[in-house]
Amino acid sequence: MNDRDGREPTPDRDAGRAGWRETTRRKALESAPERKDRFETSSGIEVRDLYTPADVAGLDEARDLGRPGELPFTRGVQPTMYRSRFWTMRQYAGFATAEETNRRFRYLLEQGQTGLSVAFDLPTQMGYDSDAPEAEGEVGRVGVPISSLADMETLVDGIPLGEVSTSMTINATAATLVALYVAAAERQGVERSKVSGTVQNDILKEYIARGTWIYPPGPSMRLVTDVFEFGARELPKWNTISISGYHMREAGATAAQELAFTLADAIAYVEAALARGMAIDDFAPRLSFFFAAWSELFEEVAKFRAARRMWAGIVRDRFGASNIRSMACRFHVQTAGSSLTAQSVDNNVVRTTIQALAAILGGAQSLHTNSRDEALALPTEESVRLALRTQQILAYEAGVAETPDPLGGSYFVESLTSELEAAAQAYLDEIDAMGGTLRALEAGFQQRSIQESAYLEQRAIDAGEQVVVGVNRFRDEQAASPAIQRIDPAAERRQIAGVRRVRAERDPAAWEAAVRRLEDAARGTDNLLPPLIEAVKAYATVGEIADRLRAAWGVHRELITV
């Protein structure tokens, strides 16, 4: 019998073929990880061989699944979820200048994005103008530079702020950016009652995991609460905080730690607002959350379901809320940036798809999908489009949005939801025993817990016990590097010239009066949003405003312990 190439088989050729087969088999065995005898989630929860009804038989009335849109919201915060309306597809963007970022926003809206999400550069986040010495080399690098109302007006030019919802990822200078956004909307003729969106405004996670703080915790919490108070009174469609577990997860937290520490921060913010004299049902309906989605699909789905159930119980039982909307945990999800690899970037598309699926199956209200090239640089227009298309394919083609909580009732998912809740509650009990979130933070409890988890995970990756495809297993020998987004250095020069032009052209008397009133208010107890809005309308810059607040409050210095 002839081979496929028409030649007769020979003993030598048969031996060569057998040797090739053996070499291929040996390489496959070497590259494939051994299967474990014991499986755990990232939070150390054991995954059993099989799940049966007995694993979920212990659900009591308080933990009953219920229906979507009903307490305890395990199955979702809306009765019909995505059958009525898809999640908001909100791609995070910002780079170079306000003008270039505006073009990217317009492009994304044309491609079907349904909400804006603004990334700010580090100087803006840290309260420095683009021409400050501290800002040199960082202007427009990791986000858009916003130094004044002129920049904000350019950023949203041509975008109807009464119709488009905008999320702003900003913390230490959050109150100032809210003031700028409100002022820009008013320049468009949009009433405050119609302005919709979210400001992250979560300073506690900066002290825990990210580091872009300015002021000490006390004044920082005052600013957070000022935004709550102003929003409840003036911005009924605005989410006044996005309490963020995302950055803690990116720093190395497990799913249980992300859940627990996020809820602990939320408790601290509620307590601060109540101490201000606000009623829980006046501000809790506008609280929102921000979680990460990782690739461990079922644990992530269970985490989102547990978050809703836990938050409903906390707001109702701990704080006595009576408005059901106060008890609904609404959240944005971003796929895991730190899971992306610089090696074999096409693999990142698959990772992001799985993570986005977890967010959707878990009932997210809005979603950002990371781009394939973000381990190398800011994403290109092409990669951003592919990331958005990933969401659209899941929405329109995958059938996963056609019924609420499609994994509800799964023995595995229900058991994992309860176990994650128990693991997170144990952390919350420990934080309460330490005197609350701020006391635990001052003692370094959250920081140390996250660092230990990050260390253990990296050690497992280095040892090959935790597989990262394309990095420590299944490497592509000659993976092509994609073209990357590059920031033109001339953009920084144009931005600096624009800031200086604003200072030269503004009314100096109006500016001086406005910033003086702001500093006086900072030294007193009045809500700072009205004087902030007055200051930005007088073209006070972000750096000048931060400097006045630094003069009134000082700056935070991190306590380093060894």
287-293 and 238-239: which strand pairing? Answer: unpaired
In this structure, is residue 293 part of a structural domain? yes
Token readout for 384 is 């951003």
In this structure, is residue 554 part of a structural domain? no
Task: Report the chain's mean pLDDT, rounded to a whole number.
Answer: 91
Mean pLDDT, residues 331-335: 97
Residue that has been written with the tokens 């933990």 in this structure: 63
Q: What's the whole-model pTM score?
A: 0.90
In this structure, is residue 379 part of a structural domain? yes
Mean pLDDT, residues 105-110: 94
- What per-residue confidence (pLDDT) applies to 25? 46
Split at pLDDT 50, 70, 90, the class of 63 is low
pLDDT(193) > 60: yes
In this structure, is residue 518 part of a structural domain? no
Q: What is the residue type of 40?
A: E
- Domain ranges, residue 305: 46-462
Kindly report, residue by residue over 409-429, the tens digit of the pLDDT.
999 999 999 999 999 999 999
Q: Under 8 Å CB-to-CB from 80, ≥6 apart: which residues?
A: 68, 69, 404
| Span of 58-67, 130-139, 168-177, 189-198 with lowest mean pLDDT | 58-67
CA angle 562, 268, 548 (to 5 degrees): 80
- What per-residue confidence (pLDDT) applies to 36? 65
Q: Under 8 Å CB-to-CB from 125, ≥6 apart: which residues?
A: 143, 170, 171, 172, 173, 212
- What per-residue confidence (pLDDT) applies to 243? 97
pLDDT(3) > 70: no
Q: Report the chain's C-alpha Rg in angstroms.
A: 26
- What per-residue confidence (pLDDT) applies to 59? 57
pLDDT(114) > 70: yes
Q: Under 8 Å CB-to-CB from 446, ≥6 apart: which residues?
A: 208, 209, 248, 257, 261, 264, 431, 440
- What per-residue confidence (pLDDT) applies to 482? 81
Kindly report, residue by residue over 287-296, the tens digit of the pLDDT.
999 999 999 9
User: 315, 274 in Cβ contact below 8 A?
Assistant: no
39-40 and 366-368: which strand pairing? Answer: unpaired
Report CA-CA distances (Å) from 153 to 161, 177, 510, 536: 11, 12, 20, 12
Domain harbouring 77, CATH code = 3.20.20.240
Mean pLDDT, residues 293-304: 98
In this structure, is residue 482 part of a structural domain? no
Kindly report, residue by residue over 172-187, the tens digit of the pLDDT.
999 999 999 999 999 9
d(CA 553, CA 528) in angstroms, rounded, equals 13
What is the enclosing helix (H) or strand (E) of 287? strand 287-293
Name the more confident of 525 and 92: 525
Kindly report, residue by residue over 445-495, the tens digit of the pLDDT.
999 999 999 999 999 999 999 999 999 999 988 766 788 888 888 999 999
In this structure, is residue 363 part of a structural domain? yes
In this structure, is residue 134 part of a structural domain? yes
Split at pLDDT 50, 70, 90, the class of 14 is very low
Q: Total structural domains in the chain?
A: 1
Report the Cα–Cα distance between both ends of the chain, in Å, rounded.
74
Split at pLDDT 50, 70, 90, the class of 61 is very low
Report CA-CA distances (Å) from 280 to 8, 322, 450: 85, 9, 30
d(CA 456, CA 340) in angstroms, rounded, equals 19
In this structure, is residue 378 part of a structural domain? yes
- What per-residue confidence (pLDDT) applies to 486? 84
Split at pLDDT 50, 70, 90, the class of 58 is low
Kindly report, residue by residue over 127-173, the tens digit of the pLDDT.
999 999 999 999 999 999 999 999 999 999 999 999 999 999 999 99
Q: What percent of the chain has pLDDT above 70?
A: 91
State CA 248 to chain mean position distance: 10
Token readout for 146 is 């916003």
Kindly report, residue by residue over 223-245, the tens digit of the pLDDT.
999 999 999 999 999 999 999 99
